[in-house]
A and B are shown apart, each in its own frame.
Chain A
Amino acid sequence: MRRNGARHLLSMADLDRDDIEQILNLTGSFAEVGKRSIPKVPALRGKTIAWLFYEDSTRTRLSFETAAKRLSADTMNFSVSSSSVNKGESLRDTIETIAAMGIDGVVVRHRAAGAPQQVADWTDAAVINAGDGWHQHPTQGLLDLYTATSHLGDLDGKHIAIVGDIKHSRVARSNAIGFATMGARVTLVGPPTLLPPSLDGWPVEVTHDLDAVIDDLDICYLLRMQLERQKQAAVPTLREYHHEYGLTSARADRLGAETLIMHPGPMNRGVEIAGEVADRPNAVITEQVANGVSVRMAVLFLLLGAGLEPVDESAVGGGLAVA
C-alpha cells in the first residue's frame, strides 16, 4: 500500500491476506461504532480529506462521506462538473491545486483506469481509489469480502461465481483478486464478448454456462449490466442476456439455502437479476451497502489515522490494536 512514502489504497492487488484480514477486523470494530446512539469517534479529528470525483457516483460517495464524518474528519468537495477541469486543467494541476490547500487524503473516482495511481505519483497525501474506469474498486472489493465472511466465515475453498460483464467491470477485477487472495475458488461467468480479451495471470476459472456452476456456489455475485452494451452488440438483446446469464427465479431456486446473492448496485431488476430474487432472504445486497460505510471507515483510519503507530484504542472504541 506504500507509494511515494505515503500509504495508498489503489488496487486489491496491493493487499495480501494479512492486510485484508487486518482491514476486515477493524471493519468489525467500526461496525460496532455504527450501532451506537451517537455513531461518531474522534479518530480523524483535524484530518482533511478531499473528494475528487470525476465520474458520477451516489452510493460510493455518500458511503465515503458518512465514513469520514463518523471519524470526525473534515472533508472538502471538489466538484468536477463546475470546476476548472471543465476548463481544460490537467489532472496534475488539479491535484496540486487541491494539495496546496492542505489535505491528508484524497478519494479519487475517475472514468480513466490508472488515474488514482497517477494522483499518488503527484501528491504526498494518501490516495484512495474509489473506482477507476474498468480497472479497480478496492473498497467495493473489501466490503464484499466483509459481507461474505460475516456470513460464511473463512472463505478458503468456497466457490464464488462472478457473473456478467467482467470485461468492463472494476468490481469484477477487484473481487476476482480479493476472493482469490482469501482462498476462495473464483469462476467468472459471462458471454465471451463480455470477458476480458486475456485472462493470463488471473486466479480464476471461466465458463460461459451459468447453469453448469449454479448448483455448486457459496456466493452468486451478479454484476450490473450496462444497458448500452446491447447497442455495442456485446449481447443480442437484454432479454436473451437475462435468459442465459441472469439469476432467474428458477436458477435462484437451485442455489443452496445458505448461498449468498450479492450485487454491487445499482441493480437492473429483470436483467441480471429477477426482481423477486433480489428480495430473497439470502440476498445480502442492502447489507453490502451498510458494510460499505464501516469498511471505508477502516480504510480511512488505517491510511490517515493509525499510520504504523499503535492505535489509540479509545479512539476506535473496539479494543483492537493495529500494527
Chain B
Amino acid sequence: MGSIAITNGTLVDGAGTRRADLLIQNGVIAEVGEKLDGDTIIDADGLVVTPGFVDLQVHFREPGGEEAETIQTGSRGAALGGFTAVVVMPNTTPTIDSAAVVRQIHDLSIDALCEVVPSAAITVDRDGEALAPMAELVRSGVRMFTDDGVGVQDARMMRTALEYASGLSHLADGFEIVLAQHCEVDALAAGGAMHEGEWSSRLGMPGQPAEAEELMIARDVALARLTDGRVHFQHVTTARGVDLIRAAKAEGLKVTGEATPHHLCLDHSAVASFDTVFKVNPPLRTPVDVTAIKAGLLDGTLDAIATDHAPHTRQDKERPFLDAPPGMIGVETAFAIANTELGADIEKLVELLSINPARIAGIDDRHGGPIESGRPANLALLDLDEQWTITGAALASRSSNTPFEGRSVRGKIRHTIWNGDLVVTNGEATR
C-alpha cells in the first residue's frame, strides 16, 4: 500500500482547527505538516478533515437477518457516512452473549469497510433473567454491554450488572466498562406503537408515554449513584430525560447520553401518514422534545449522535403500523442531517460524531482523533456545503427504510480513510 498525502485541508479534531497537510503511510498518520507529498495525493482544498466518525449504535443484522442487512453492506453505508467505527448491537440471532459469537462477528467483519465493534448483551439472550458471562466477553474485547431494544427492566438485575461490571476494568486496560440502556419501562410502554399524546389519541394508536423513558433514566441515574457504575443512555428522546441526565452530570455521576439524527428533526405528527417508515423505538416525540434534544446535544448534556441504524426489509415494513417492526436506517445520512438540522459548528459536530463516542466506546486509542503523527489513519473528509437529496434506493443499505426520503440536506462525505485505506473516494465506496 502506497502513501497518501492529503493537502490543503482544514483539520478539525478538537485540538484546534488548523490548515495542514497529512501524510499517511502503513495505516498510520506519518506526518502532519506543510507541502507533503505521497504516492496518492488528495487535494482537500475546501474540505474539512476530521477523525473518522464513530457510531455507538447500529444494527447490521448479521448473523440472523441478512435479508435486511449484512455487515458488509452496513459497513459500506457507514463508510459512505464518514464512519470508521461502529458499535453493533447484540440483538442478532444468535445474541451476542458469549465470546464465541463475538468471534463470529469478527469473522463476518473480514470484508467490512470500517471497524465493527461488537457490544454484548447484559443478560443471556437479552431476556433479563441471568447475567451474561461479562468477564469472558470483556476478555474477548467487549467494552459496552446492552440489552438493546428492551432495557433491563428489573432494578436488582441492573444493579447487579453495574456492580459486577465495575470490577472488570483490570481485564480492559483500566477502561471502565459501560452499560448502555434503551430506557423504557415495559409496564407503561408495552404494546405501544408511537409516542403517547395528541397524535396517538387522534389516530387511535396505543402509545408509549414519555414517562416510560423518564422513569428508567431516573432509576438508572439512581443506580449509577448507588454502584458508582458507568451508564450510557441510548437514544434519549424526551425533554425531561435530558433534564435528568443534565442533573446527574452536574452531580458528577458517570453517565453519558446520545441522541439519533431522526429524533432531532422529526416529531410524532409524521405518523399521521401511517407510513411505517416513521415507526421507530423509542418513538418520534413532540416538537418540544425535539427542541430539548437539540439543546441537550449543543450544551453537552448529550455526548454523542448515534444512528440506531435499523434496516428492515420492504415486506417487513409493508405491514400495518401496529405490526411493522420499529426502526430506520441512518448511517449514511447522519452527518448531513446533523449538519443541516442541529445548528452546530463543525467543531461541535466532530465532538458529537467522533471524539465523544470513541471515548464512550473505549476505542479512543484508534478513533476520535487527535490527528497527529503516530495515530492510526482513521479520517473523514467532508464538504460542508454540498447540497444533495436523500433517496433510500441510492443508499448502500440492503434496506431503504429512511425517514428522510426526498429531503434536501447539506454536507457530504467526500473521502473516508480507515486504517490508512481509502474506503470511500469521491463519495463512492471502493469495495
Contact = CB atoms under 8 A, between A and B. Distances in A.
Interface string B313-340: 0011011111100000000000000000
A95 B146 CA distance: 39
A226 B387 CA distance: 53
A201 B198 contact: yes
22 contacts: A90-B315, A91-B318, A91-B319, A92-B315, A111-B322, A112-B321, A112-B322, A113-B203, A113-B204, A113-B205, A114-B320, A114-B322, A115-B321, A117-B274, A118-B320, A133-B322, A134-B206, A135-B203, A135-B205, A170-B204, A197-B197, A198-B196
B181 interface: no
Interface string B29-65: 0000000000000000000000000000000000000
Interface of A: 90-93, 110-115, 117-118, 121-122, 132-136, 170, 173, 196-202
Nearest to A177: B202
B201 interface: yes
Interface in B304-318: 315-316, 318
Contact of A90 (B198, B207, B319): B319
A133 B322 CA distance: 9
A200 B202 CA distance: 9
Given A113-B274, A117-B274, A135-B204, A197 B320 contact: no
The contact size tier of chain B is: 20 to 34
A115 B320 contact: yes
Interface in B201-226: 201-207, 209
Contact of A197 (B207, B315, B322, B323): B207
B197 A136 contact: no
Given A93-B315, A197-B196, A113 B322 contact: yes
A219 B202 CA distance: 23
Contacts of A91: 318-320
Interface in B277-324: 315-316, 318-323
B123 interface: no
B205 A134 contact: yes
Contacts of A198: 196-198, 200-201
B296 to A, nearest CB: 24
Contacts of B274: 113-115, 117-118
A158 to B, nearest CB: 24
A310 to B, nearest CB: 34
Contacts, number: 78
A92 B204 contact: no
Nearest to B321: A114
Nearest to A196: B201
Interface string B236-257: 0000000000000000000000
Contacts of A90: 315-316, 318-319
A55 to B, nearest CB: 11
B321 A113 contact: yes
A92 B323 CA distance: 13
B196 to A, nearest CB: 5
Contacts of A118: 274, 276, 318, 320-321
Chain B facing A: main interface SS? loop
Given A197-B196, A198-B198, A200-B201, 20 more contacts: A90-B318, A90-B319, A92-B315, A92-B318, A113-B322, A115-B274, A115-B320, A118-B274, A118-B276, A118-B321, A122-B318, A134-B204, A134-B205, A135-B205, A136-B204, A173-B202, A196-B202, A198-B196, A198-B197, A198-B200
A11 B209 CA distance: 25
B320 A112 contact: yes
Contacts of B209: 197
A114 B200 CA distance: 12
Nearest to A113: B204
A95 B274 CA distance: 16
Contacts of B206: 134
Contacts of B318: 90-93, 118, 122
A201 B203 CA distance: 12
A111 B193 CA distance: 14
A122 B207 CA distance: 26
A134 B193 CA distance: 13
A121 B276 CA distance: 12
B128 to A, nearest CB: 23
Contacts of A170: 204
Contacts of B319: 90-91
A186 to B, nearest CB: 15
Contacts of B200: 196-198
A264 B320 CA distance: 25
Contacts of A112: 320-323
A11 B320 CA distance: 17
Contacts of A92: 315, 318
B207 to A, nearest CB: 6
Contacts of A111: 322
Contacts of A115: 274, 320-321
